[in-house]
Each structure stands twice: as structure tokens, then as C-alpha cells.
Structure 1
Amino acid sequence: MSKPVTLTLTVPHALGAAELRRRLDLHTAWAFEQFAKERITIEADEWFGKRRAFSASGHGLRAGAAIQVGDDELHVEAIVPGVVAKFSPVFEVIGRHYARRLLSEEGAAL
């Protein structure tokens, strides 16, 4: 089996840490539902300061991720199986798409 690979994504924002965290909390349930439809189980830790960790398992694979909320940027770090890492350009495009939606007016409410 190939070694795990760390993928990172940093997205600037002007919302402030409290508002970004509020939006992340608001949209977490929706994201978990989408993963569940694909038979992927997500477990989330509680917030520890401005950081929240996640683990995911499905289709025989496990991955972990953490988000760090800053006053002017969102940082996401994921550790994925090496076999999945070849799709990292796709993950980045999808991650930036959802980050833009989260940071837009659309992301202010469900």
C-alpha cells in the first residue's frame, strides 16, 4: 500500500474567524449528508480553539483532515491514502469551489 499524502488548501477571506466558524458549523450537517450518500462515514471532533479535526472512512480507505479558522484565511489540511492522492488537483478545484460558496452571501444561510 502506498504512503499517505498530505494535501493543503489555504483560502483568504474577509469574514473574521467567528463568522467563518459559524458558517462552517451551519453547513457541516449538509456536507456529512452528502458523504453518507456515498457510503463515507465522517467523524468530527469538537472545536479546539480555532481548529477542528475530522476522520473519514469508506470504500476500504481512511483519511483525516483538519480545518483551521483564522481571522483572514481558512486553512484545510487532509491526509489521504497515496492511491487517492493522484486526484489532488481535482480535490483542490472542488475545495476552492465550496470555499468560495461558503464565503459568499450564499454561504451566510442554508
Structure 2
Amino acid sequence: MSKPVTLTFTFPHKLGAAEVRRRLDLHTAWAFEQFAKERITIEADEWFGKRRAFLAHGYGMTAGAAIQVADDALHFEALVPEVVGPFAPLIEVIGWQYARKLFDEEGAAR
């Protein structure tokens, strides 16, 4: 059995936790649709305070992720199969780019 790999990043923001959560909620359905196109199913827990967890199933693998929202930062952590480990730097860059778009002034309207 392979050992899972943990991916983490923290993205600072100045929006406040409530606004970040609102924007995340707006984009969740779109993101799930994109995953579904790739035959990846997502199970999402409801928000528990400022934390939301996800499980993704696809291509015979399962990954888990959690988002923690603070007033000044968003923290993302994922536990992915070892086979995904070599792509960790790319996943982090994509996460940063997506967060930057989500948290810019126009992110509220997207």
C-alpha cells in the first residue's frame, strides 16, 4: 500500500472570513462540475465553523482535502495518493492562481 502525500498552502487575504466563505460557496458548484467532467466525484461536508472538508474519488483513487478560513488567510490541506506526489508543486501553483483570482476585486462577481 502506498503512502499518502500531504499538500498544503496558505493564501493571505484582506477580505474577512465571511466574504471568503461566500466566494468559495459561489465557486464550489462550478468546480464540482469540472471534476465531474473528468469522472471525479466529490463528497463535501457542510461548513463546520470556518472549516469545510472534501473527499474526491476518481481513477481508482481517493483524496481528501480541507479548507480552513480565517479573517486574514485561507489554509488548504489535502491528503493525496503517493502517485500524485510528483505533481505537488504544480498543484500548489494552480491553487495559488485560483485563490488569487477568487480573492481579487472581480472574484466576487465571477
- Report if the CA contact (8 A) 1:26-1:109 is conserved: no
Q: What's the offset of the Cα at 1:106?
A: 2.4
Structure-2 separation of matches of 1:29 and 1:80: 22
Residue identity over aligned pairs, in percent, reads: 77
Q: Which residue of 2 aligns with 1:8?
A: 8
User: Amino acid of the residue matched to residue 103 of structure 2?
Assistant: L
Q: Which residue of 2 aligns with 1:26?
A: 26
1:68 matched to 2:68? The reply is yes
Structure-2 separation of matches of 1:109 and 1:45: 25
Structure-2 separation of matches of 1:106 and 1:43: 28
Q: Which aligned segments of 4 or more residues in structure 1 are displaced greater than 4 angstroms? A: none
The TM-score, its normalising length taken from structure 1, stands at 0.97
Structure-2 separation of matches of 1:105 and 1:24: 14
Structure-1 separation of matches of 2:51 and 2:93: 23
Structure-1 separation of matches of 2:107 and 2:54: 21
Q: Which residue of 2 aligns with 1:102?
A: 102
User: Amino acid of the residue matched to residue 30 of structure 2?
Assistant: W
Q: Which residue of 2 aligns with 1:92?
A: 92
The TM-score, its normalising length taken from structure 2, stands at 0.97
Q: What's the offset of the Cα at 1:107?
A: 1.2
Deviation string, structure 1 residues 31-56 (Cα, Å, up to 9, x no partner): 00110111100010000000000000
Structure-2 separation of matches of 1:17 and 1:85: 30
Q: Which residue of 1 aligns with 2:79?
A: 79
Structure 2, unmatched stretches of 5+, are none
Aligned Cα root-mean-square deviation (Å) = 0.7
Structure-2 separation of matches of 1:66 and 1:51: 7
Structure 1, unmatched stretches of 5+, are none
